Amino acid sequence: MKRRVLSLLLGTAMVSSMLVGCGGSGDAAATDSAATEDSAGAESSGEGGTIGLAMPTQSSERWINDADNMQKQLEAKGYKVEVQFAEDDVQQQVSQIENLIAKDVDCLVVAAVDSSALVNALAQAKEKEIPVIAYDRLLMDTDAVSYYATFDNKGVGTKIGEYIKEKKELDKAKEAGESYTIEFFMGSPDDNNALFLYNGIMEVLQPYLDDGTLVCKSGRTSFDDTCILRWSQETAQKNCEDILTANYANEDLDIACTAFDGFSYGVRSALEGAGYSIKNTDSKVWPMITGQDAELMATKNIIAGYQTMSIYKDTRLLAEKCVSMVDACLKGTEPEINDTEQYDNGKLVVPSYLCEPQAVDKDNYQELLVDSGYYTEDQLK
């Protein structure tokens, strides 16, 4: 691998790496300081180095898009890319990462299946001075991680909470002494994002649960009671079926507060199975259903009325921020960092860039998703 390392730049890079922690890689850059060949313009030749991309699964559409965006942007900068999907299998992801390390990739970008299960594999990366960047999900309990590119995960939760609060006019309902029933379907307990999101939701909704404006008939409001391992659509459906049977025989569910588009598909099936219909023809009124990721299917469901809203996370932007972190580790540049406080992984507070999530529904999907080129009109037909 040829690296462009100007000595002046190197000085800055080493200082910045000490400050924001591109640990092992800073040393790697130093050992390579004699190599002065310019790899700029090495478009897609792989001369910028090889980046190993470990992704959690192809079962939800976003990770395929994430990998695709990352690959395109990295290749445009002259990097070679090796993508691996672990299909939500923890051991498979460990092996894939070990393989990438054995192949001497120059940098690892990891979106973990289980955020705490990669400690040993990542220690091997550190030993070989391969820098590691956490993608979307924080890598826990490891000092091998240099940077974290993600969305404001608590912000995702507050946006979902605010949406429910505003659209259901909870303050007005409270004044009028009215209430809405609500059930929660939260993310995976082995994904650090899930608790952040839950906390964001509860920051907005807990007061309304406390004063009775929101009524959770199942009583399942804690994170432990509502989290769903590996973000499984099937489990969300099963949980919703059980909750509807046990608690909603005589009353409608008004709000399904879900943390993921996949859950909203499961909830939709459970509701249909229990006699709800978007036509609202019989006694059961279709509830407000939230989600996250603005997947293509979710967006179609929003347009058709099966889902009320989602959280749009522009994965093109996330890829861009992550690529700048790869550059920082390998070329000694400065990545953009906007959070150095929130993401403590148990070993260090990881310097992070948090992209901004946005709530999307039938009123603004055109502007947010179509006009921005995220989806085409044709895809949404």
Q: Find the shortest distance in angstroms from Cβ 352 to ligand GAL.
A: 13
> Rule CB under 6 A: which of 196-255 touch ligand GAL?
231
Distance of CA 363 to the CA centre of its chain: 24
Looking at 25, 69, 181, 193, which residue binds ligand GAL (CB under 6 A)?
Answer: 193
Which residue's CB comes closest to ligand GAL?
A: 231
Backbone angles phi, psi at 62, to 5 degrees: -60, -40
> Rule CB under 6 A: which of 48-87 touch ligand GAL?
60, 62
Q: Find the shortest distance in angstroms from Cβ 193 to ligand GAL.
A: 4
d(CA 261, CA 249): 25
Residue count at the site for ligand GAL (CB under 6 A)?
Answer: 11
- The DSSP string of 333-379 is -PPP--BSSS-B-SS-B--EEEEPPEEEETTTHIIIIITTTSS-TTT
d(CA 170, CA 215): 12
Please, are residues 65 and 313 in contact by the beta-carbon 8 Å criterion? no
Which is it for the CA torsion 235, 240, 245, 247, positive or negative? positive
Q: Find the shortest distance in angstroms from Cβ 230 to ligand GAL.
A: 8
- For the sheet with 214-215, list strands across it: 214-215, 180-185, 255-258, 288-289
b/e 62-83 (16+ beta carbons within 10 angstroms → b): bbbbbbebbbebbbebbbbbbb
Mask 262-301, x = binds ligand GAL (CB under 6 A)?
------------------------------xx--------
The closest alpha carbon to 39, from 8, 67, 72, 80, belongs to 80
Measured from the CB atom, is 79 or 231 closer to ligand GAL? 231
> Rule CB under 6 A: which of 318-377 touch ligand GAL?
none
Measured from the CB atom, is 313 or 331 closer to ligand GAL? 313
Q: Find the shortest distance in angstroms from Cβ 153 to ligand GAL.
A: 6
Largest distance between two CA atoms of the chain:
76
Measured from the CB atom, is 3 or 137 closer to ligand GAL? 137
Mask 100-129, x = binds ligand GAL (CB under 6 A)?
------------------------------
Q: Is 163 in the site for ligand GAL (CB under 6 A)?
A: no
Q: Is 191 in the site for ligand GAL (CB under 6 A)?
A: yes
Measured from the CB atom, is 135 or 286 closer to ligand GAL? 135
Looking at 136, 152, 183, 190, which residue binds ligand GAL (CB under 6 A)?
Answer: 136
Please, are residues 3 and 32 in contact by the beta-carbon 8 Å criterion? yes
Q: Find the shortest distance in angstroms from Cβ 63 to ligand GAL.
A: 7
Measured from the CB atom, is 22 or 138 closer to ligand GAL? 138
What is the 8-class DSSP label of residue 1? -
Please, are residues 136 and 147 in contact by the beta-carbon 8 Å criterion? no
Q: Find the shortest distance in angstroms from Cβ 323 to ligand GAL.
A: 18
Q: Is 152 in the site for ligand GAL (CB under 6 A)?
A: no
Measured from the CB atom, is 129 or 356 closer to ligand GAL? 356
Q: Give, to the nearest 10 degrees, the angle between helix 315-331 and helix 61-76.
A: 40
Residues engaged in binding ligand GAL (CB under 6 A) = 60, 62, 136-137, 191, 193, 231, 260, 292-293, 313
